[in-house]
Structure 1
Amino acid sequence: MTPKAKKQRLDRLAELAAVHADEKGRSLWAEAFRRVRRNPAAIIGAGILLIFVLVAIIGPFLVPYSPTSTAWADQVKEGQNIIPGPSSEHWFGLDHNGRDEFSRVIVGARQTLLVGVVATSLGLLVGCLLGGLAGSAYALGGRRGRQVDNAIMRVVDMLLAMPSLLLAVSVAALLGPSLITVMIAVGVISVPVFARLLRGSMISQGHSEYVTAATALGVRRGRIAVAHVLPNSLAPVLVQATLTLATAIIEAAALSFLGLGNPDPAVPEWGVMLTDALTRLEVAPRLTIYPAVGIIITAFGFTLLGEAMREALDPKLRK
C-alpha cells in the first residue's frame, strides 16, 4: 500500500470514528436482543409461545364447557364404535367419556405449561447451584477447590451415566404417580446438563484477563466468582433453559403416557389425554391428533426461540 493510499484510509477511519463518536456501545444482552428481533425464526418461535401462554392463562376462562363435564355421555356408544366427532356445538367433538374435547385441550395447555416451566426451573436452580460451586472452586479455589469440583462433578457424572428417560421413570416410580412427581422427575434429568454447562462456562471465564486484573488488585476470589465470573457465564445456561423447556414438555408427556403422571384422568393434561386416546385409536383417531399437535407445536416454538438466542449470544454462530 502506497503512503498516499494509507493516508486516505486513515482519514476515512477517522471520519467514521467522528461520525459514531456519540453512539453508545451496546451490552451483550442488548446486542443479543437486537439480533433476536431481526431473526425470522425467533419471531415465529416467540409468536407460537405467546399464543401458547395466552391460551394457557386466559383459555380456561373462555372455554364453552367444563372440561370434566360428562353431560353428553349418552351420545357415546363405544360398543357400537360411536364417539361423536366435530360439530357446531363441539368443535373438536367428544371424547370417550362424553366430555367436550375442545375445552379439555384448551385447559390442558395450562397443565402442560406448568409442568414444563416448573420442571425446567427446578433443574436450572439445582444445576446452577452445583455447577456454580464446582466452577468457582475449580477456577479460583486452588488445590482444595479442585477437590471440591471433583467431588461435585462425580455426582453429576453418575446422573449423566443413566439414560434420561430411565432416570425419570425411576424417580417417578419411586415417588408415585402425580403431577408433582412428573415435575420433579423431569427436573432431575436436566440438572446435570445445567451443571456441566455452567461449570464449563465459569472455568472458561476464570482464565479471562479481567479475572487476572481483579486478582492482582487484591479482590477476594469469592467476590470475583459471584460478582464477575458467574454473571458472565449465565448466557449459555439461559439459552439451554429455553431449549430444555421444549424437551421437558415432551418428557412430561412421555411419563404421563407411561401412567406415571396425574392419576386422575379427569384432569386434562396433553400427555394423559394422548394416553387415553391411544386405546381408542381405531374408533376416534382425532383424539390423538389434538394433544399431539399441541405438544409438537409448543416444543417447536421453544426450539426456534432457543436456537435463535444461542445464535445471538454465541460469537461463533453470529451472522
Structure 2
Amino acid sequence: MSTKTDKIDRLAELTATAEVSTGNSLWVEAWRRLRQSKMAIIGASIIAVFVVLAVIGPWIAPYDPTAQLWRGEVFTNRNLFVGPRAENWLGLDHLARDEFSRLLIGARQTLLVGIVATLLGFSVGALIGGTSGAAATLGGRLGQRIDTVVMRVIDMMLALPSLLLAVTIAAVLGQSLTTVMIAVGVVQIPIFARLLRGAMLAQGGKDYVIAAQALGVRNRRVALGHVLPNSLSPVIVQATLSLATAIIEAAALSYLGLGNPDASEPEWGVMLAQAQEYFDSAPMLAVYPALGIIITALGFTLLGEALREALDPKLRS
C-alpha cells in the first residue's frame, strides 16, 4: 500500500510545484513541449487511429461481425480454421465469423468501456479528493478530522489489488457491460482522490493562498477558485494513464466472463477468451485481439508519460 500511495503523492507534489520560467502559462508551455515530443506524437497517433477505427468501424467493416459466412464441413471439426485470404483479410474464427470485422467493431466497445470507466473514476475521485483536500487545507481542526477519515477509507481501497477489487464488484453486480464500467471505474476512484488531495495540500502553503486569506477572501472561494484549478494538472495526467489501465482491466473482466453476456457481440476481451480453447490450432485468433489491447494501451501510456514530462519541468528529459 505504501509504495502505491507514495508514488501518487510524489506525482502530486512534483506536478503541483512545477514552475515555468518563460512567463507563459503552464499549459502553454506543456503544449509546446508536447508538440516537440516524439513519445507524445507516437502515442497520439496510436490513439487517433484507435478512435477513428472505433467510430467508423461499423461502416467500413466488410461483414456483419456476428454472421457465419460459411457452414461447411471445416467447421464440424473445430480444430480446422480458414486463415487469411482475399475475401477475409484475417481469416475466420471458430464459428466462421470474419475476424477483421470483429476486431473493428470490438474496438468501439473497448473504447466505450475505457472512457466511461475513467470518467466515472475521475468524477467521483475528484469530488472526494477535492473535498478532502479543501477540508484539510482550509477547514481547520474539523476539516482535518474529515480528511483523516476519508483518507483512511481511500487507503484501505488502495491496499486491495485493483483487479481483485474489480472482479469482486463485477461478481456482486452481475454479468453485463455496465458492470464492467462500474467495476473498473470504482477501482480508479481512490487513485484520483488521493492524487488531487495531495496536489491541493501542496498548493495550500503557497504564497497566493496565504495572501488571499490575509485579504479576507472566503475559504470556499480560495479552494474552488484558486487551489483546485492549480491542482488539476496531475489528475489530468493520471486520467490519460488510467485509460490504458481501464482498457486492460475491462478486457481482463471480459476474459473472465464478467462482461457482456452476449458472447456473439465482438469485444477484444471476449474474443481473447473464446480463442483460448483453440490456441494450439489457431493461435492468431488470440494474437489479433491481444495486439489490439497492447498497442492501444501503449498509445495511452506514451501520451500520458509525455504529458507528465511536459507539465513537470523536473521530469523533462
TM-score, scaled relative to structure 2: 0.91
Number of the residue aligned with 2:143: 145
Specify the alignment match of 2:126 in structure 1: 128
Aligned residues: 296
Read off the aligned partner of 1:221 and give its amino acid letter.
N
Give the Cα separation in 2 of the matches to 1:72 and 1:98.
6
Taking the TM superposition and a 5 Å limit, the aligned residue runs for 1:235-314 are 235-314=233-312
CA contact (8 A) 1:75 1:98 kept: no
Question: Which amino acid in the other structure matches residue 279 of structure 1?
Answer: E
Asked if the contact 2:200/2:227 (under 8 Å) is kept, the reply is yes
Deviation (angstroms), 1:158: 1.8
Among 35, 40, 43, the alignment partner of 2:41 is: 43
Residues 133, 40 of structure 1: CA spacing in aligned structure 2 closer, same or farther, 3 A cutoff? Answer: same
Is the 1:182–1:252 Cα contact (8 Å) retained in structure 2?
A: yes
Give % identity: 64
Aligned match of 2:66: 68
1:159 paired residue number: 157
- Change in Cα spacing, 1:123 to 1:80, as seen in structure 2 (3 Å) is closer
Contact persistence 2:199–2:231 (CA under 8 A): yes
Q: CA deviation at 1:60?
A: 1.5
For 1:156 and 1:75, the matched residues in 2 are separated by 56
Residue 7 of structure 1 corresponds to none
Q: Which has the larger radius of gyration?
A: 1
Shift in CA distance, 315/99, structure 1 to aligned 2, threshold 3 Å:
same
Contact 2:63-2:98 within 8 A present in 1 as well: yes
2:220 to 222, 225, 238: 222
In 1, distance between residues paired with 2:39 and 2:170? 35
TM superposition shift of 1:81: 1.9
Q: Choose the corresponding residue for 1:112, options 96, 110, 113.
A: 110
Q: How does 1:160-239 map to 2 (within 5 A)?
A: 160-239=158-237
Q: Return the offset for 1:73.
A: 3.1
Q: Secondary structure at the match of 1:279?
A: helix
Distance in 1 separating the partners of 2:73 and 2:53 = 28
**Mapped partners of 1:174, 1:153: distance in 2:** 25
Q: How many Å separate the matches in 2 of 1:258 and 1:232? A: 41
The alpha carbon displacement at 1:74 in A equals 2.4
Give SS of 1:144's match. helix
Paired residues of 2:170 and 2:180 also in contact (CA < 8 A): yes
Query: Does the 8 A contact of 1:74 with 1:98 survive in 2?
Result: no
Relative distance call for 1:251 and 1:169 in structure 2 (3 A) is same
Q: Which runs of 5+ in 2 are unaligned?
A: 1-21
State how far apart, in whole Å, the 1-side matches of 2:96 and 2:122 are: 40
How far does residue 80 in structure 1 lie from its aligned partner after superposition?
6.1
Cα distance in structure 2, aligned partners of 1:75 and 1:232: 65
Q: CA deviation at 1:282?
A: 1.1
Contact 1:73–1:99 (CA under 8 A) maintained in structure 2: no
Aligned pair in 2 of structure 1 residues 314, 80: CA closer, same or farther (>3 Å)? closer
- Equivalent residue of 2:278, what SS? coil
Q: Shift of residue 160 of structure 1? A: 1.1
CA deviations on 1:62-115 (whole Å, 9 max, x unpaired) are: 111100111323264252621111100100100111111100000000000001
Contact 1:122 1:184 in 2 (8 A): yes
Distance 2:78 2:135 in 1: 67
Q: State the TM-score, normalizing by the size of structure 1.
A: 0.91
Instruction: Answer yes or no: is the 8 Å Cα contact 2:75–2:95 preserved in 1.
Output: no
Label 1:223 to 1:77 Cα distance change in 2 as closer, same or farther (>3 A): same
Higher relative contact order (CA 8 A, sep 6+): 2
SS of the equivalent of 1:219 reads coil
